[in-house]
Amino acid sequence: MTITSSDNNIGLYVHVPFCLRKCRYCDFLSFECRDDRALHQYANALMREIETRYEEWPYKVVDTVYIGGGTPSILSETDMKHIMECITDNFTVVDGSEITIEVNPATIDEKKLETYLAAGINRISIGTQSFDNSILNMLGRVHNKNDALNAIRLAKKAGFKNINVDMMFGIPGQTLKMWRDSLRQCIFLRPEHISLYSLQIEEGTPFYQMMEKGTIDPVSENVDRTMYHDALDMLENAGYHHYEISNAALPGFESRHNLKYWSYKEYLGMGLGASSFIGGYRFKNTSSMLEYVNFIKQGLPPVKKEDVENYSLRDEMGIYVFTALRKREGFDIRDFEETFGTDFFYVYDPMLITKLRGLIKMDGFVMKLTDKGLDVSNQVMAEFV
């Protein structure tokens, strides 16, 4: 299967799989690490991968970079500076690119922020989650409310003009009022971008065990949805544009990197376990650190054969639709038809529109989720895969 996106500019994703401490809800690929040498070694391996990857895709032009984790800010300033240099030295990164780094409020200071800016990073995403100490404690975050406030203040002061704040709801013990208060606090600080995540208690996490034992009660679906829709109202009233299921931004500050994921654009992931969609291929780097390091030592892309997906055209169509439906503006089925060279309603039964009535709507050629559809988006998306 080879489909190349019409827009040739790609996004780069760089994964840093380390945290000071693993949060209780976290099932991402991330390890607790306080060993500076190990972090430094990883940074070196990552740079080797960046070089290898560039050689694979030398003709690709980059217009977004996203350094995510884990906690990328756990790396030393020097290492981060070198990683950024490595990216810009190798890849063609266009002027005005959106370059984001994720940080944990407890791991940044003025000096780090200045280094980031100097290295070309122009967007910062702060993993605040809440402004309530009891909730932060519950989540097992390493920071408290003051750290969170301070981090945002520091970022502004340092000169970041594009700040995202992550907020989480549906947390055991969190009341509607606690959530509204936290979000109000967040809006008051006026970050350019706010992400809203509904907590999912995933198997294998400490939260899951606690739930099994009965020491925590998951928030009811009703409360969770009330929190979500309350948040959307508050954000809308404050002038934020709810542009994707879990994201809102002041106009013009929608995350261009994240939108690539939802708009069938190409991206290249580097670092442990990072995913890519490029040149018509979807693949994923190995999640084993040992394997990763071995691949890199041999100068090979760190991808095992079985981690290259072999999707059919029909699979890709499903991906196109379910990712695009995450956007509030939905998608134009003519764009779908142009991408795949086939009629949308040849692939999908027109009766689906009737079946999903109330959950999706058609606006001319544009298909999107309704407000109700937002709450049960999986039900809708499952129909298209």
Partner 1 sequence: MSDYKQYIRNFSIIAHIDHGKSTLADRMIEMTGTVSHRDMRDQYLDNMELERERGITIKLQTTRMVFHSKDGNEYIFNLIDTPGHVDFTYEVSRSLAACEGAVLVVDATQGVEAQTLANVYLAMDEDLEIMPVLNKIDLPSARPDEVRDEIEEVIGVEAQDAPLVSAKEGTGVDELLEEIVQKIPAPSGDENARLKALIFDSYYDNYKGVVIYTRIFDGQVKEGDMIRLMNTNKKYEVTEVGVYSPGPVECNCLRAGEVGYICASIKHVADARVGDTITLDDAPADEPLPGYKKVPSMVYCGIYPAEGEKYENVKDALEKLQVNDAAFHFEPETSTALGYGFRCGFLGLLHMEIIVERLEREFDLSVITTSPSVIYRVVKNDGTVVMVQNPSNLPDPMEIDHVEEPMVRADIMVPKEYVGSIMEICQERRGRMIHMEYITKTRVNLHYDMPLNEVIYDFFDALKSKTRGYGSLDYEFTKYEPSKVVKLDILLNKEIVDAFSMIVHESKAYARGRFVCEKLKEIIPKHQFEVPIQASIGQKIIARETVRAYRKDVIAKCYGGDISRKKKLLEKQKEGKKRMRQFGTVEVPQEAFTAVLKYDDNK
Footprint on this chain of partner 1 (rule: CB under 8 A)? 13, 15, 28, 66, 68, 196-198, 200, 221-222, 224-225, 245-246, 260-261, 267, 269, 274-277, 282, 284, 309, 315, 318-319, 322-323, 326, 374-379, 381-383, 385
Closest CB 288 distance from partner 1, rounded Å = 16
Closest CB 111 distance from partner 1, rounded Å = 27
Closest CB 214 distance from partner 1, rounded Å = 18
Nearest alpha carbon to residue 249 among 336, 306, 165: 165
Beta bridge partners of 124: 101, 163
Strands 193-198 and 241-244: unpaired
Nearest alpha carbon to residue 373 among 364, 365, 383: 383
Structure tokens of 38?
Answer: 């190990």
First to last CA, the chain: 16
Q: Which is nearer to partner 1, 119 or 231 (CB)?
A: 231
Q: From CA 317, how far away is CA 333, in angstroms rounded?
A: 11
Closest CB 262 distance from partner 1, rounded Å = 9
Do residues 1 and 312 touch, judged by C-beta distance below 8 A?
A: yes
CB burial of residue 142 (10 Å; 0-12, 13-18, 19+): middle
Q: From CA 353, how far away is CA 342, in angstroms rounded?
A: 18
Q: Which is nearer to partner 1, 30 or 154 (CB)?
A: 30
Closest CB 330 distance from partner 1, rounded Å = 16
Q: Which is nearer to partner 1, 66 or 160 (CB)?
A: 66
Q: Which is nearer to partner 1, 64 or 122 (CB)?
A: 64
Q: From CA 380, how far away is CA 321, in angstroms rounded?
A: 10
Closest CB 247 distance from partner 1, rounded Å = 10
DSSP H helices, 214-356, are 221-237, 256-262, 289-297, 313-324, 333-340, 344-347, 351-355
Closest CB 275 distance from partner 1, rounded Å = 4
- Which amino acid would we find at residue 221? E
SS3 97: strand
Q: From CA 274, how far away is CA 330, in angstroms rounded?
A: 26
Q: Which is nearer to partner 1, 190 or 328 (CB)?
A: 328
Structure tokens of 169?
Answer: 């709801």
Q: Which is nearer to partner 1, 158 or 196 (CB)?
A: 196
Closest CB 225 distance from partner 1, rounded Å = 5
Q: From CA 249, how far away is CA 293, in angstroms rounded?
A: 38
Q: Which is nearer to partner 1, 88 or 263 (CB)?
A: 263
Closest CB 146 distance from partner 1, rounded Å = 26
Q: Which is nearer to partner 1, 98 or 375 (CB)?
A: 375
SS3 361: strand
Q: Which is nearer to partner 1, 72 or 191 (CB)?
A: 72
Structure tokens of 310?
Answer: 């072999």
Q: Which is nearer to partner 1, 222 or 237 (CB)?
A: 222
Closest CB 378 distance from partner 1, rounded Å = 4
Do residues 330 and 367 touch, judged by C-beta distance below 8 A?
A: yes
Q: From CA 210, how far away is CA 307, in angstroms rounded?
A: 32
